[in-house]
């Protein structure tokens, strides 16, 4: 992923969050401080030239960085149990409170609201169907 909205500060102050389609989430592992580490859950940043961002480096808000992460087939962060297929939906956002919803910065929020609306409609339909079956 590319981002030019990361906050200023050290890269180790950031956390990368895996969002699962069932509504749960998990933080990726630790920041790969010495360079790319291709093991499940590792993540790191590079600048536009491809140079690894060290933990001692300072990010500058507005600069573009590449966010890299490793997902192992059938590992903790892979949602698809089929061998050779990795399903990894992702989203970028900020979390300043330590809790709550996170939406992508600079987003016009149309897709996120549409997804929530569709999920609510599906939930209501499912609930209505199960209630009818229960009372028959």
Beta carbons of 46 and 65 less than 8 angstroms apart: yes
- Per-residue DSSP letter, 52: B
The pLDDT score that the predictor gives to residue 70 is 84
pLDDT in tens, 65-123: 998 888 888 888 878 777 887 776 554 555 444 444 444 555 555 555 566 667 667 66
- Cα angle, residue 90 at apex, residues 88 and 96 outer, rounded to 5°: 140
Domain range annotation of the chain? 1-101, 106-136
pTM of the model: 0.61
What tens digit of pLDDT does each residue of 1-14 get?
A: 788 888 899 998 88
Report the alpha-carbon distance of residue 57 to residue 61 in Å, rounded. Answer: 13
List, as one string, the DSSP characters of 82-118.
STT-----------SSSSS----TT---HHHHHHHHH
């Amino acid at each position: 992923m590319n981002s030019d909205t990361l906050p200023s500060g050290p890269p180790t102050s950031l956390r990368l969050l895996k969002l699962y389609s069932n509504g749960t989430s998990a933080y990726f592992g630790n920041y790969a401080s010495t360079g790319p580490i291709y093991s499940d859950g590792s993540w790191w940043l590079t600048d536009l030239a491809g140079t690894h961002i060290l933990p001692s480096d300072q990010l500058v808000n507005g600069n573009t960085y590449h966010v890299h992460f490793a997902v192992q087939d059938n590992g903790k962060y892979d949602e698809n149990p089929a061998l050779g297929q990795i399903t990894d939906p992702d989203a970028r956002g900020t979390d300043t409170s330590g809790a709550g919803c996170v939406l992508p910065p600079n987003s016009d929020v149309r897709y996120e609201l549409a997804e929530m609306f569709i999920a609510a409609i599906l939930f209501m339909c499912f609930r209505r169907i199960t209630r009818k079956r229960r009372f028959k």
